[in-house]
Amino acid sequence: MTTDVPRGPSGAPSGGLSRGPDKGLRGRHQAVLPDWLALYYADPLELTHGEGRHVWDADGNKYLDFFGGILTTMTAHALPEVTKAVSEQAGRINHSSTLYLNRPMVDLAERIAALSGIPDARVFFTTSGTEANDTALLLATAYRRSNQILAMRNSYHGRSFSSVGITGNKGWSPTSLSPLQTLYVHGGVRTRGPYAHLDDAEFIAACVADLEDLLGHVRAPAALIAEPVQGVGGFTSPPDGLYAAFREVLQERGILWIADEVQTGWGRTGDHFWGWQAHAQNGPPDILTFAKGIGNGMSIGGVVARAEIMNCLDSNSISTFGGTQVTMAAGLANLTYLLEHDLQGNARRVGGPLIERLRAVAAQLPGVREVRGRGLMVGVELVQPGTDLADPDAAAAVLEAAREEGLLIGKGGGHSTSVLRIAPPLSLTAAEAEGGAAMLERALRRGLRKGG
């Protein structure tokens, strides 16, 4: 008896190992993965291993990692405590789904609930920040019986159908179709837009007045979702207190506040454990979403909400992969390390001088519009010299130059990808910060000449 095997144009089995001549990993990537799956660098990197704040590529080149897998390697690469926890848990059981009691999931949920600041908190684990924000939207719209969502201009909340529909950054929103009606609010970007010329108090007052005016024209929305620091948008943020002022307006109308802490959470900003705490005058958010850094590379996301909101759903649900034992073991070990080694304090102590060092460099370079951020979450915005026009070509050139120097950084920005994003592991040392700043200074001087 013979079995028909699907074959490609060459006659080789299409699902087997015979693929003809090796086109290299990049060629293989392009042959089987979507065109819209972005890659950094003209000659993309394959990272093979890491240790501490450094990674190595397939050619043996060593890099200081100032991006941490998009703010995900939060403590350190190959952190022994996390590696051990994962290995030991994998030796017992990897997975059971949420249909069974799961001690590591309960342990981590208890710790996150206590840290969240939300009273009577309940925690639901997902596999990503996108899925966490999806869940938050489901909870808010079900609780409020409304499909209207307030979101910030220049925002990013994920790549699913619903989270794309509330993303206020057209570079990361490939469709205008959405199950939600989204209304975009001013305030996420301090130094651009119609209120940029105002001082902080006036800026907040103007944004609040705009919000109140908007709410006067629509039925009450379900929630406002906002990143305390906009990540993909280029590490922009409003003055401290804006979301507290928004919260006062929202609470009068019963509208929920969702804090998207996927990038800002876990102490990265140095001053606070959560980004929302810079806007805490009117209490914690109703719903908080998290992901990225808690797993240190393992797939963990989640939602925290007070019980009244979390329990509002009137049908059954489970998560097959959210809260799996191995990822929960990683999260517990990672969170323990973070707290015991005061990495929030380290982000403040090391990040402050790093920002000042980069501002001193920027003062000498007309192509740098602004160095902004707090803790180890730093954005360097590039523009065409003498203007406020974004310069994505210069950003691309600096990214390449930084790689040649041995430094990995990221890119972002609202109007175009013209902001360099710096977000190293929170265990970064002062010496590594200085070394990275020196590499970035050389890359800026080289790349801005090429970009210009």
CB within 8 Å of 35: residues ≥ 6 apart = none
DSSP for 61-95?
-EEEESSHHHHT--S-BT-HHHHHHHHHHHTT-S-
Give the pLDDT score at 14. 36
Question: Is pLDDT at 49 greater than 50 in this prediction?
Answer: yes
DSSP for 210-248?
HHHHHHTTSPPPSEEEE-SSBTTTTSB---TTHHHHHHH
CA atoms within 13 A on the CB side of 19: 12
* Main-chain phi, psi angles of 158, to 5 degrees: 135, -175
Give the pLDDT score at 451. 59
- Could you tell me the pLDDT band of residue 7, with boundaries at 50, 70 and 90? very low
51: tokens are 């240790």
Residue-wise pLDDT for 52-92, tens only, equals 999 999 999 999 999 999 999 999 999 999 999 999 999 99
Q: How far apart are CA 43 and CA 436, in angstroms?
A: 22
Residue-wise pLDDT for 421-442, tens only, equals 999 999 999 999 999 999 999 9
* Main-chain phi, psi angles of 129, to 5 degrees: -70, -35
Q: How far is CA 47 from CA 28, 50, 60, 382, in A?
A: 16, 8, 9, 27
DSSP state of 42: S
- Average per-residue pLDDT for the chain: 93
- Could you tell me the pLDDT band of residue 23, with boundaries at 50, 70 and 90? low
Helix residue spans in 216-364 (DSSP H)? 242-253, 307-310, 325-340, 343-362
DSSP-based helix, strand, coil % in the chain, nearest 5: 40, 20, 45
Residue-wise pLDDT for 302-339, tens only, equals 999 999 999 999 998 999 999 999 999 999 999 999 99
Contact yes or no for 157/166 (Cβ under 8 A): yes
CATH 3.90.1150.10 assigned to 24-75+343-451: yes
> Which strands make up the sheet holding 54-57, listed edge to edge?
47-51, 54-57, 62-65, 407-408
Give residue 99's identity as a one-letter amino acid code: L
From the candidate CATH numbers 2.40.50.140, 1.10.287.110, 3.40.640.10, 3.40.1390.10, the one assigned to the domain spanning 83-340: 3.40.640.10
Question: Is pLDDT at 282 greater than 80 in this prediction?
Answer: yes
Q: How far apart are CA 112 and CA 302, in angstroms?
A: 10
115: tokens are 């840290």
Q: How far apart are CA 7 and CA 13, in angstroms?
A: 4
Residue-wise pLDDT for 146-202, tens only, equals 999 999 998 889 988 888 888 888 887 888 888 899 999 999 999 999 999 999 999
Residue-wise pLDDT for 191-234, tens only, equals 999 999 999 999 999 999 999 999 999 999 999 999 999 999 99
Question: Is pLDDT at 1 greater than 60 in this prediction?
Answer: no
Q: How far is CA 41 from CA 76, 157, 218, 267, 401, in A?
A: 23, 24, 45, 30, 10
Q: Give me the numbers of helices (H) and strands (E) for the chain, helices first please.
A: 13, 15
Residue spans per domain, the chain = 24-75+343-451, 83-340
